[in-house]
Amino acid sequence: MTEDECRHALARLSLGRLGCARDNQPYVVPIYFAHDGPHLYAFSTPGRKIEWMRLNPLVCLEVDERTSVEDWLSVVVDGRYEELTDTPEFAEARAHALQALQKHATWWGYAAIPGAEWRRKAGPFTPIFYRIRIDRLTGHRATPVKPA
């Protein structure tokens, strides 16, 4: 896939799997994200993922779409974590993140479903907004083989 095709896939899709690493142990979790120009925006409650990305900002986001076993695409983003702290310095970036995330109807769902087991454990909802600066984009696509 060309870089343009990868960007189109990122703009259309909103669910990905984010990988981070600490001491070379990878950790992968599903996230919802919004793509806007050079960044992917997302938010999260505090936890292992945020702790690890604060220590090591190198991340990888994999986004895929599959219609069937023979018809799929997968885009891999290598990037860097940037936390959008609730400070004047990041006020504009946070507003931008919120605007980008609101384009996806599902954006609030994943991290904020009341009653979900992990939310009950996590206590009051304290969203952490962050973005991933896209350093490198690669994509693969498979399409069904046409009979000769």
| Residue numbers at the binding site for a copy of itself (CB under 8 A) | 1, 17-30, 56, 58-62, 64, 69-70, 72, 74, 76, 78, 106, 109-110, 113-119, 140-143, 145
Picking from 104, 103, 92, the residue whose alpha carbon sits closest to that of residue 129 is 92
Please answer whether residues 110 and 31 qualify as being in contact, where contact means their C-beta atoms are separated by less than 8 angstroms. Answer: yes
Shortest separation between residue 148's beta carbon and a copy of itself, angstroms: 11
Complex with a copy of itself: residue 13 or 21, whichever CB lies closer: 21
Please answer whether residues 101 and 112 qualify as being in contact, where contact means their C-beta atoms are separated by less than 8 angstroms. Answer: no
Complex with a copy of itself: residue 40 or 96, whichever CB lies closer: 40
Complex with a copy of itself: residue 7 or 104, whichever CB lies closer: 104
- Residue 81 CA to chain centroid, in angstroms? 10
